[in-house]
């Protein structure tokens, strides 16, 4: 981040955010009773690369750094593959990486019951 900030002053509003929280209430509900994946998580790491849209050099550097950071975080996350909270998704992830492979079918079934007209389907639409 230091190199990024030094070499791309247009990206100095970017942040790397660590969110940690207690998950006892979430863990108290058996995993097979919910459609939410990764219930054992106790934290999220989110980075927001902020820059002027007209600054293509900083844009390219931001995307490269973001992908590098994501790769580093995946390697040390404790999960075998990329696992992304939907609100933190970049847009190039597979649905299984956002919703969890073992939860995707259940979540899609619930969505078909509660949102059959796909009103809530702007990003990361379920099958």
- Burial zone of 45 (CB within 10 Å; 0-12 exposed, 13-18 middle, 19+ buried): middle
* Residue 69 host element (H or E): helix 56-75
* pLDDT for position 54: 95
* pLDDT for position 33: 86
Residue 43 or residue 9, greater confidence = 9
pLDDT at 47 over 80: yes
Nearest to 62 by CA among 71, 50, 73: 50
Is the four-CA dihedral 120, 123, 124, 127 of positive or negative sign?
Answer: positive
Pick the most confident of 32-36, 88-92, 100-104: 100-104
* pLDDT for position 118: 84
Q: Which residues contact 22 (CB under 8 A, 6 or more apart)?
A: 42
Please state the pTM of the whole predicted model. Answer: 0.76
Cα distance between residue 33 and residue 21, in whole Å: 21
pLDDT at 40 over 90: no
pLDDT at 37 over 90: no
pLDDT at 5 over 90: yes
18 forms bridges with which residues in the sheet?
Answer: 45
């Amino acid at each position: 981040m230091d190199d990024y900030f030094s070499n791309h002053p247009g990206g100095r509003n970017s942040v790397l955010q660590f969110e940690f929280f207690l998950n006892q209430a979430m863990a108290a509900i058996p995993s097979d009773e919910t459609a939410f994946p990764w219930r054992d998580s106790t934290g999220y790491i989110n980075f927001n690369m902020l820059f002027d849209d007209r600054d293509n050099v900083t844009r390219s550097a931001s995307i490269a750094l973001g992908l590098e950071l994501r790769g580093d975080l995946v390697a040390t996350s404790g999960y075998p593959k990329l696992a992304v909270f939907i609100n933190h998704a970049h847009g190039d992830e597979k649905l299984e990486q956002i919703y969890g492979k073992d939860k995707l079918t259940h979540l899609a079934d619930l969505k078909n019951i509660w949102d059959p007209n796909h009103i809530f389907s702007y990003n990361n639409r379920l099958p």
